[in-house]
Amino acid sequence: MDNTDRAAAHDAAARPAATGGDVDQAIAAVEEQFTILFSQVSAGMRDRAAKVHPDLQPVGFRLLSTLVRTGPLHAGALAGMLATDKSVVSRQVRILEDLGLIEREVDPSDRRASFLVATPPAIEKVNEARAADQAKLYLGLRQWGAEDVGRLADLLARLNETTRH
């Protein structure tokens, strides 16, 4: 048991036991808030995609923003990072190429393979969209105070750890 596991076990032991109904009701409230949050995120992805190019779909924006964040990748590696089928990546790559948002560069270590690379204008537009979203998030969370924001980060980390597949 590592320190994170010990801390989680300590936290669980320190919390009063809740009845199944109480926990289920609280979980349902969390689920409702996640539904609202995911709807907002989905709408935000559509908006960000449209800011980059009016014909760009959210799934294409997801691929493109990953390339902007990571730098050049092989299509298979991109599919793996996004836990997406290679056929989806292949179809989106063609669309992104047609829109002038990505290019292929020959892999010098394997001339049969190529890297997918975001174009400079695409990088600029994706970064502008990210900066606008980040500014909104910071503006909203600065109203909470450091303790509440830290608690949110801790709770999200804990949720990510307990729901990891």
Residue 6: band (very low, low, confident or very high) from pLDDT cuts 50, 70, 90: very low
Which domain range does residue 59 map to? 49-145
Residue of 56, 104, 58 whose CA lies nearest to 82: 58
Using the predicted structure, report yes or no on whether residue 16 has a pLDDT greater than 60: no
Would 132 be classed as within a structural domain?
yes
∠ at Cα 88 (84, 92), nearest 5°?
Answer: 120
pLDDT of residue 12: 53
Whichever domain contains 104, its CATH number is 1.10.10.10
The Cβ of residue 57 has, within 10 Å, a number of other Cβ atoms equal to: 15
The mean of the pLDDT values for the chain is: 89
In sign, the C-alpha dihedral spanning 79, 85, 89, 92 is: negative
pTM value? 0.75
pLDDT of residue 18: 55
Would 27 be classed as within a structural domain?
no
Tally of domains in the chain: 1
Percent of the chain whose predicted confidence (pLDDT) is above 90: 78
Residue pair 122/101 in contact by the 8 Å Cβ criterion = yes
pLDDT in tens, 35-78: 999 999 999 899 999 999 999 999 999 999 999 999 999 999 99
pLDDT of residue 19: 63
